[in-house]
Structure 1
Amino acid sequence: MSLRTVRGGLLALLLPMTACVSGPDYHLPASAVAASPRAARAFVSGQEASFSHDAPPDRWWQLYGDPQLDAYVREALAANTDLRAADANLRRASATVLEYRARGAVQAEVDASGTLTHAGGYTQASAPQSYALGLHLSYALDLAGGIRRGIEAANANAEAVAAARDQVRVVVAAAVTRAYLQVCTSNHTLTATQQVLAIQHATLEATRRLAAGGRGTNFDVSRAGAAVNRSAAGIPHLLAERQAALFELAALMGRLPADYPRAAEACPQPPELEQALPVGDGWQLLQRRPDIRAAERSLAAATAMIGAETAGLYPQITLGASSGVAGTPAHLLSADGFGASIGPVLSWHWPNRRVAKARIAAASANADTTLASFDGVVLQALRQTETALSACTQELERERSLAQARGDAARAAGQAQQLYRFGRIDFLDVLSAQAALADAESALATSRAQRIDRQMDLFLSLGGGWTASSPAEGVAR
């Protein structure tokens, strides 16, 4: 076989490679859950009148119209320790992208050496000395596109890390809002408990006066005192809950516990939403949630890695150039001491390509695993949102019923006191009515706190709270 035939065959093999990149180009698989039109529909549980189909704003906590809450969220997003760690992870991922891009650039290497000849184990004073200084340049042609696929994978991984950082922002914003509203709810519940306690104290004093005047018994006094103590016992628990929420708020804002925001401590009651809660639809959810975007970008990176491994099936050609000087000090700068070379270097793992094929199979399996994880994230997001919508709807209904029950209990307690003063009922009925009022206040306060918690769960599942840059590529439209 002539040299011309070998050279022609090599060129015939390499020329097609210059026009393509190895491995599959990424696109969202048609089988992905996110590509299904059913995933983009309106939410099944979002038909309650308190919900709207408008897309939720990015800064959803501003729907509460509380400037103090807005300030706390801003501070937390600037100082939260989890966000600082997420920012550092993003910087590391960006550095990896730069590393992969550098592999496609010209590589330079400088080396220098010096030797001193020894004779008979001893250094001779007149022994010859020689030195060498060289510069080597190399450039990988990347005909099969392995480096380009590596850069593509690194970029997608960096975008996944950026989405993970955005997810931390979502969690932090929701946690700050939840902690602040917990403080306000505890204060509101504390006020209601103290109002019931004041009524029971008044009943106790009236009972003592009646007993002193012969119209009551010590047994009535004891029962009234027990009711007072039972209600008073709930106050320390409310104070502890409020303080725990304040400490949580401080930690989220990057503060020491002793530096918790004192202004929040005086919040009289939780702010209410100023409009119907906007929830959007499935398509908007798929575009908005950072964890979905992170999973989709991870799938893109895994797909690119198939191409990076596929490039190992083809020859790798590197253009190299070297120049330098070498010799004794007397001849170092002479023409005899100078040398240079230039030419391509070809490497090819052939015919033993089983290693490359095994790596391709592993990369393909990893892409399948990542697709399954992506589908799982989408299903989980839709499930969480539907569950949160349903729970929020039911808690709203429960709170409405408990508010009516609390109003009925308050009227009954007032009526019982009047009837008792006129001798129409006995003292046990008064205590029962007041106990029912205390229970109704407690149940309403608990429901209000749970309703706020359900709202936080819903906002968290909707995935707002990060500054949008670009939606997840290829997600269902």
Structure 2
Amino acid sequence: MSLLPLAALGGLLTLGACTMGPNWQRPDSPGRFSYQAPAGQPAPSQASEKPLPVNWWDIFGDPELSSLERRAVSANLDVQEATARFAQSRAAARITGADRYPSIGGNASYTRERASPNGILSLLGTTQQQSASTVANGTGFGPSGLPGSGGSPPFDLWQYGVDASWELDLWGRVRREMEAANAETEASADMRRGILVSVLVETARDYLLLRGVQAQIAITRQNLDIAEHSLALTRLRLQNGATTDLDVANAGAAVSTIKASLPGLISRQAELVNALSFLLAEPPRALETELGTPRPIPPAPPVVPVGLPSELAEQRPDIRAAEAQLHAATAEIGVAKADFYPKITLGGSLDIQALQFTGLGSWGSRQYGFGPAISLPIFEGGRLRGTLELRKAQQRQAAIAYQRTVLQAWREVDDALTAYNAVQNQRSQLEDAVKQNETALKTAREQYAQGATDFLNVLTVQGRLLDSQQSLVQATTATSMAVTSLYAALGGGWQQVFPVSSGMQTASAIAEAAGQR
């Protein structure tokens, strides 16, 4: 046997190390970013470059919030849907990886046939007499007695065997396809992480808003109690002739105005309970008993760990996903370039074929064929070149999207830090305003009881107190929510649930899994 074919095949396989298209390199970061303390009065709680906590919601020290977050991780339907999409992406990558291996299949068939004497057989000049004499003398299927000529009987054809084909990946087309599929899988994994972060942040925000609304309800009821005592006082003074119906009417109007604000707050509380129930994949009002009892608004911690600026690109799922999509777009260029070159496929088959079922066990009934096949694009009407230009344009778009995503992340972090500092300073001023208004109301009520001032002054001071108290509750809620916004901008919270090590198989692992199926 000549060694020339084997040498040629070895040379082709050696060429398989060639891979078309640009190799992937991580993009440079667009500029530099560093945490800077906002200008102005320093706030009580400050961001620190200590390591980002994995379960950042635990820094609030609220067991109920921590419980809701743990349950949302496993129960939330958006996270489950993202997990299903991730599983689809991994399956697609596994399908792509199968192209690296030979395709082997089996076949078996039985047919009963009769050829037409007026069809192809008529070109051979076969006559009915020739066919009849051939069948009669036992020669069966000789050249002049092919089945299907006039009067010849039908026949049975039994066959089974195996066939195989394998495309030699000479130009790295399959490898680039696998590279792109792996990158798309990584992007899908990071999208799932991003959805998880959104769910965790939304759970924390809804919980903080709920506690804030409950605090507003409590303040409203406290002020309602004060207003009702004032109304009773004015009625008593009216009976003693120390005041007029005007004061009684003003006091009654104040009671009704405060009462009117309660239904809206109670409705808002129910909406937030339902929102949290939905995040945990529960029906409406499912958490009403659990969350109906008011609790204090979880305070912001004295120090908020935010990690190092250099770690932001590794933390934010959207940045990671944008980078993976850029990687996939780069690999697709190599696929498009490889399509310009010949495709060589090795194929072969081995079959057992017989006219009698008993002949299927005979090695003499074998038939086989093997050899390479080559296909070369000669004229495609510009399809290949257009595809290449499309892939290059898609890569440029992915690069721009990556740059925009990074800059957007930096902006969100900086805005969150500024907002956190500002809302804390606002809260400090409102705390002082509440104290002053409480003192003013106490003084005004004492003066009114002594007849030293009119009731309108009491109403004015009480209105200012209620407004400042409600504003303080809102600022307290906003302060804690600013922490959640900061961690949303940092992209924290997914590391323990969906760690990088389990989010993506390597190309070799996917290929190996494909070869086992």
Specify the alignment match of 1:148 in structure 2: 175
- Residue 24 (structure 2) aligned to one of 1, 23, 26: 26
Q: Cα deviation per residue 1:271-305 (whole Å; 9 max; x = unaligned)?
A: 11333122234322221011111111111111111
TM value normalised by structure 1: 0.90
Q: What's the CA shift for 1:5?
A: 12
Are the aligned partners of 2:298 and 2:480 in contact in 1 as well (CA < 8 Å)? Answer: no
Q: Cα deviation per residue 1:127-177 (whole Å; 9 max; x = unaligned)?
A: 222222231111222111111111111111111101111111101111111
Over 3 Å counting, the alpha-carbon distance change for 1:304 and 1:207 in structure 2 is: same
- Cα distance in structure 1, aligned partners of 2:382 and 2:169: 21
TM value normalised by structure 2: 0.83
Specify the alignment match of 1:242 in structure 2: 269
Classify the secondary structure of the residue corresponding to 2:158: strand
- Residue 319 (structure 1) aligned to one of 333, 343, 346: 346
Specify the alignment match of 1:69 in structure 2: 65
Over 3 Å counting, the alpha-carbon distance change for 1:376 and 1:37 in structure 2 is: closer
Specify the alignment match of 2:247 in structure 1: 220
- Cα distance in structure 1, aligned partners of 2:308 and 2:251: 54
Are the aligned partners of 2:114 and 2:153 in contact in 1 as well (CA < 8 Å)? Answer: no
Letter in 2 for 1:38: R
Comparing 127-136 with 41-50, greater Cα deviation is found at: 41-50
Are the aligned partners of 1:231 and 1:438 in contact in 2 as well (CA < 8 Å)? Answer: no
- Cα distance in structure 2, aligned partners of 1:100 and 1:252: 35
Specify the alignment match of 1:113 in structure 2: 109
- Residue 228 (structure 2) aligned to one of 196, 201, 204: 201
Classify the secondary structure of the residue corresponding to 1:133: strand
- Residue 255 (structure 1) aligned to one of 269, 273, 282: 282
Q: Cα deviation per residue 1:93-116 (whole Å; 9 max; x = unaligned)?
A: 110111011111120122333332
Classify the secondary structure of the residue corresponding to 1:111: strand
- Cα distance in structure 2, aligned partners of 1:261 and 1:186: 14
Over 3 Å counting, the alpha-carbon distance change for 1:378 and 1:193 in structure 2 is: same
Q: Map of 1:160-239 to 2, 5 A cutoff?
A: 160-239=187-266
Q: What's the CA shift for 1:270?
A: 1.0
Q: What's the CA shift for 1:16?
A: 6.8
Number of residue pairs matched?
A: 464
- Cα distance in structure 2, aligned partners of 1:61 and 1:95: 34
Letter in 1 for 2:332: M
Letter in 2 for 1:42: Y
Letter in 2 for 1:195: Q
Over 3 Å counting, the alpha-carbon distance change for 1:162 and 1:261 in structure 2 is: farther
Are the aligned partners of 1:112 and 1:133 in contact in 2 as well (CA < 8 Å)? Answer: yes
- Residue 38 (structure 1) aligned to one of 20, 32, 37: 32
Say yes or no: does 1:298 pair with 2:292: no
- Cα distance in structure 2, aligned partners of 1:67 and 1:444: 24
Over 3 Å counting, the alpha-carbon distance change for 1:44 and 1:340 in structure 2 is: farther
Say yes or no: does 1:288 pair with 2:315: yes
Q: Cα deviation per residue 1:44-88 (whole Å; 9 max; x = unaligned)?
A: 649855222223212110001111111111111111111110110
- Cα distance in structure 2, aligned partners of 1:364 and 1:5: 40
Classify the secondary structure of the residue corresponding to 2:285: helix
Specify the alignment match of 1:136 in structure 2: 163
Q: Map of 1:445-460 to 2, 5 A cutoff?
A: 445-460=473-488
- Cα distance in structure 2, aligned partners of 1:102 and 1:7: 25
RMSD: 2.9
- Residue 340 (structure 1) aligned to one of 368, 383, 388: 368
Classify the secondary structure of the residue corresponding to 2:339: helix
Say yes or no: does 1:103 pair with 2:131: no
- Cα distance in structure 2, aligned partners of 1:258 and 1:29: 48
Specify the alignment match of 1:461 in structure 2: 489
Comparing 48-57 with 346-355, greater Cα deviation is found at: 346-355
Q: What's the CA shift for 1:243?
A: 0.9
- Cα distance in structure 1, aligned partners of 2:35 and 2:470: 36
- Residue 53 (structure 2) aligned to one of 34, 57, 81: 57
**Structure with the greater alpha carbon radius of gyration:** 2
Comparing 281-290 with 209-218, greater Cα deviation is found at: 281-290
Classify the secondary structure of the residue corresponding to 2:295: coil
Over 3 Å counting, the alpha-carbon distance change for 1:143 and 1:429 in structure 2 is: same
Q: Cα deviation per residue 1:360-404 (whole Å; 9 max; x = unaligned)?
A: 221111111111111111121112222222222212111111111
Are the aligned partners of 1:282 and 1:382 in contact in 2 as well (CA < 8 Å)? Answer: no
Classify the secondary structure of the residue corresponding to 1:132: strand
- Cα distance in structure 2, aligned partners of 1:348 and 1:119: 37
- Cα distance in structure 2, aligned partners of 1:54 and 1:389: 15
The percent identity for this pair of structures is 30
Are the aligned partners of 1:55 and 1:280 in contact in 2 as well (CA < 8 Å)? Answer: yes
- Cα distance in structure 2, aligned partners of 1:158 and 1:43: 36
Q: Map of 1:376-387 to 2, 5 A cutoff?
A: 376-387=404-415
Q: Cα deviation per residue 1:287-335 (whole Å; 9 max; x = unaligned)?
A: 1011111111111111111112211122222222210022311654445
Are the aligned partners of 2:20 and 2:334 in contact in 1 as well (CA < 8 Å)? Answer: yes
- Cα distance in structure 2, aligned partners of 1:349 and 1:232: 81
Specify the alignment match of 2:393 in structure 1: 365
Specify the alignment match of 2:435 in structure 1: 407
- Cα distance in structure 1, aligned partners of 2:247 and 2:466: 18
Specify the alignment match of 1:439 in structure 2: 467
Comparing 217-226 with 121-130, greater Cα deviation is found at: 121-130
Classify the secondary structure of the residue corresponding to 2:181: helix
Say yes or no: does 1:17 pair with 2:15: yes
Are the aligned partners of 1:69 and 1:180 in contact in 2 as well (CA < 8 Å)? Answer: yes
- Cα distance in structure 2, aligned partners of 1:427 and 1:358: 83
